[in-house]
Amino acid sequence: MIIRLRPPNEQDFRSPLRSERLTSILGIALGLAFTICFLTGLISHLIQHPPGWFAWPTGPSWLYRVTQGLHVTTGMAAIPLLAVKLWSVAPKFWRRFPTGRARAMIIEAVERGTILLLIGAAFFEVLTGLLNVAEAYLWPFFFPEVHYLMAWLLIGSVVLHVAVRLPIMISALRRRDRRPPPPPAEPRAPGAETTITRRHLLTGTAIAAAVIAIATLGDKIPALRGVSVLAQRSGTGPQGLPVNRTAAAAGIRADQVGADYRLALVGTRTVELSLADLTALPQRTVELPIACVEGWSQLATWTGVRLSDLIGLVDDHDFTEARLASFDAGPYGRSVVASALARHPETLIALRLNGEVLDHDHGFPARLIAPNRPGALQTKWLSRIEIVR
């Protein structure tokens, strides 16, 4: 038997659920989710790589926790929206090109191109973001840089696609879809159900997105931890706080943080403080969240010396920033604290966490903790603080 294969055509997609109105509604929902993801991701990027014109406020202390949690949650919730949107436009990829009119052919080619670009960029962002949350790095590139660049490609393709499709979307949204026609009469088993409606499909998609969002929020809303199977962190870890980068992974040696430990303060003069010296200084206790760029966050109680008090030991003049260095030689072993944040009363060089001496994996003997700041910039295993005018 010879089976003759052919590529599918538009007539092979016979579901009565597909319509321009359905596709438009799904497109609006997906575009909103991607816009939220893009804006919150852009905020995170600007905080970590601030240009001269950008200024991130020092409070409220939970603001970054909200923006980055929203970034990850909307990205996860976009998965069912993206899947159903792709299903709804599948026939367009197999539609024959119009013939005889160059303008119609160009419009059709641009429309298909924007759809392919949008779908490719969207799947890359969603899948790599999902794997990043799961800490499954199956690629050779540095995730933050590529994810950020692809975000611009994605939002650009969204804008281009909307520009091409806007007249059709407006027309489709102004008219109401008719109920899908009933299936042709044929013998059915007793109790067999009729086909679902477009409203059922949209409701099911919305429920799927909501369930994924709830299943992702557990590390930020303790009441949801029991049902949040997709939460990025369970809350377990040394001293009840999760750890992204351990002391072993950072290559921290025992002699660096042992009895001979010294924290160098460099300003108009240089002072070296031992752990005993730091402990002897006035201590302050604050309750601040640690918020990771991967979306997880958790509130904790920190005790230590105000950064402003340490700066006052070596420099009593105006300064623009404090540069913090760690024994960690990796990409997160350096960070800069602007003067406004360095002077904030809740910005500490923390020595204790939840009433206990810092665990080695949480940055023993001293780490930065500051309000409204990504966890990647809350530098651990501090070795040096330099004041820059």
- Predicted confidence at residue 224, as pLDDT, reads 67
- Predicted confidence at residue 176, as pLDDT, reads 66
Quote the CA–CA distance of 330 and 324 in Å, as a whole number: 13
Query: In the chain, count of helices (H) and strands (E)?
Result: 9, 10
Residue of 137, 354, 325 lying closest to 237 (CA atoms): 354
Q: Residues with Cβ < 8 Å from 83, sequence gap 6 or more?
A: none
Give the pLDDT of the chain (389 residues) as one tens digit per residue: 566 677 777 777 778 888 888 888 998 999 999 999 999 999 999 999 999 899 999 989 999 999 998 998 899 899 999 999 888 888 877 777 667 677 777 777 777 777 788 888 999 999 998 888 777 888 888 888 999 999 999 999 888 888 878 888 888 888 765 555 555 545 554 444 556 888 889 999 999 998 888 887 766 666 666 666 666 555 578 888 888 889 999 999 999 999 999 999 999 999 999 999 999 999 999 999 998 887 788 889 999 999 999 999 998 778 899 999 999 998 889 999 999 999 999 999 999 999 999 999 999 999 999 999 999 999 999 999 999 98
Rounded to 5 degrees, what angle do the CA atoms 59, 365, 383 make?
80
- Predicted confidence at residue 235, as pLDDT, reads 59
Residues in the chain: 389
Structure tokens at 37: 């993801």
- What are the extents of the domains in the chain? 10-178+196-224, 240-388
Task: Say if CB 388 and CB 323 are below 8 A apart.
Answer: yes
- Predicted confidence at residue 232, as pLDDT, reads 59
CATH number of 10-178+196-224: 1.20.950
Rounded to 5 degrees, what angle do the CA atoms 92, 15, 29 make?
65
Residue of 214, 218, 247, 216 lying closest to 230 (CA atoms): 216
CATH number of 240-388: 3.90.420.10
